[in-house]
Amino acid sequence: MTAVVPLHPEPTGRISELRWRVPAGLLPFTGPVAGVRGALGQLLLDGTVETLLVEPAAVVTVLGPGHGWRGDGARVRSALQAALAEPAGWRPGPGCTPLTSDQALLWAAEEVVRGRLGDFVRSHGGSLTVLGADGGVVEVAMAGACDGCRTAGFTLHSRFEQELRRRCPWLDGVRAVPAAGRAQDSDSPREARAWA
């Protein structure tokens, strides 16, 4: 018995639909699901669940006609919970793309930028852009007010990296890449002005 997979639903705006947040990269593909081993597969077969769609850190379930969350929601949740414990039992449907661990990392990094941390950086006149992920290392560019800011390194490593690692425990590290046309170490002239 492995540890239980964290799972909770969020509304999507459509009444028959729920987006279930699951750990990033848990399922090795994104796109529509053709079939699942166990109870969830049954629900898909009998039409309780009309569509099952995998996103990088979520599973979207759409209920079939005549079904509602009040009556069927608990069954869907239990079946999904059980199915997530066994990622190998998920069969990708047509049009699915495989999700590598680097792609999951990239997606999660972008989510962090869209969230509270990105807001914080933007509110200080800075900007944080995810450039890519390779071999477990995420590359970001910090620009605007971040450029030359003495706390940029702290924000990157103590906050960005920490929040990302909570989502993707396999993260190796975060690297700041100089924004186009600027020196990577822009410390001396700006700092000199700041201290003057």
The one-letter amino acid at 176? A
**Binding to another protein by residue 75, rule CB under 8 A?**
no
Alpha carbon 139 to its chain's center = 16
CB within 8 Å of 163: residues ≥ 6 apart? 112, 115, 117
Please give the structure tokens belonging to residue 2.
Answer: 């492995």
Alpha carbon 129 to its chain's center = 15
Judged by CB under 8 A, the chain residues 20 through 59 that form the site for another protein are 21-23
Residue with tokens 């990302």: 164
Give the residue from 179, 180, 177, 161 showing the smallest Cα distance to 105. 161
The residues pairing with 31 across neighbouring beta strands, listed in sequence order, are 54
Of 73-81, 148-156, 175-183, 184-192, which part binds another protein (CB under 8 A)? 73-81
- Which residue number, 20 or 29, has a Cβ lying nearer to another protein? 20
Build a one-symbol-per-residue string for 139-178: x at contacts with another protein by CB under 8 A, - elsewhere.
Answer: ------------------------x--xx-----------
Residue with tokens 């509304």: 11
**Binding to another protein by residue 131, rule CB under 8 A?**
no
- Which residue number, 15 or 194, has a Cβ lying nearer to another protein? 15
Please give the structure tokens belonging to residue 177.
Answer: 């890449």
**Binding to another protein by residue 185, rule CB under 8 A?**
no
DSSP labels, 98-133: E--HHHHHHHHHHHHHHSHHHHHHHHTTEEEEEEEE
Residue 165 C-beta: closest distance to another protein, Å: 11
Q: Which of 91, 116, 175, 182 binds another protein (CB under 8 A)?
A: 116
CA–CA distance, 93 with 73 (Å, rounded to integer): 23
- Which residue number, 30 or 61, has a Cβ lying nearer to another protein? 61
**Binding to another protein by residue 81, rule CB under 8 A?**
yes
**Binding to another protein by residue 11, rule CB under 8 A?**
yes
Q: Which of 4, 88, 180, 196 binds another protein (CB under 8 A)?
A: 4
Q: Which of 37, 77, 124, 165 binds another protein (CB under 8 A)?
A: 77
Which residues contact another protein by CB under 8 A? 4-11, 15, 18, 21-23, 69-70, 73-74, 77-78, 81, 115-116, 163, 166-167
